[in-house]
Amino acid sequence: MATDALVPLESNPEVMNKFLQKLGVPPDWSIVDVMSLDPEMLSWIPQPVISVILLFPISASYEEHKKKEEVEVLSKGQKISSNIFYMKQYLSNACGTVALVHSVANNCDKIQLSEGPLKKFLEEARPLDASTRGTLFTKTEGIINAHKELAQEGQTNTPSPEDLINHHFIVFVHKDGALYELDGNKAFPINHGPTTPESLLEDAAKVCKEFMGRDPNEVRFTVMALAALD
């Protein structure tokens, strides 16, 4: 059975790619580091990019912005595609895996998933609402066990599930002409406006810069992309 807290995945492309492949993602799709958000540097990232993952420190400014953003969206409303796959996060330290699941789930038209726990989970989860999907995820032992196994790998000392972790993964994807931020700790997906498959990386980078701008004295940000490899 799943526990209420996991050891977090490291923000390490090698670890994440092992995890994805264990869950049935073919090796021609790979997590790569985004070393700079400068447009010229972004041009070096392999294309197509189908998701952008941001790891950032949870701070007072993040929590304040999250509350303000939720109030604003509830007041003004936003358009959310019925095709977006979003789930809530109910397991502590599972945000890395939730971000990877969001990345794959919203790109199953491009990724040829092999049979396995992730494909089975997505088939069962698609008809459900975000909360029920999150609950189902906590009971999907194939994914949870893969997370536990890969969380022991990486270059840093492995924390315990009880350790206080103040970093959080979210993901940006394109769906039906819009850029969506998928954060399992938020009340709903956030529509950041128009984008295209070709401009996803650049448009997501702009939102990543906004996160950084809200914590100008913080340097612990990591950006990665799920991209096609030749």
Point out the residues that are catalytic.
Answer: 95, 168
Q: Which residues contact 137 (CB under 8 A, 6 or more apart)?
A: 87, 90, 91, 94, 98, 101, 121, 125, 143
H/E segment holding residue 18:
helix 13-22
Locate all alpha helices (DSSP H) within 77-125, ordered by sequence: 95-105, 117-125
How far does CA 76 lie from the centroid of its chain?
25
H/E segment holding residue 61:
helix 60-76
Torsion of CA 154, 202, 40, 223, to 10 degrees: -20
In this structure, what token pair is assigned to residue 202?
Answer: 């650049």
Strands 222-228, 49-57: pairing kind: antiparallel
User: 141 and 47 in contact (C-beta within 8 Å)?
Assistant: no
Secondary structure letter of residue 178 according to DSSP: E
Residue 35 neighbours by CB distance under 10 Å = 11
Report the C-alpha gap between 149 and 23 in whole angstroms. Answer: 12
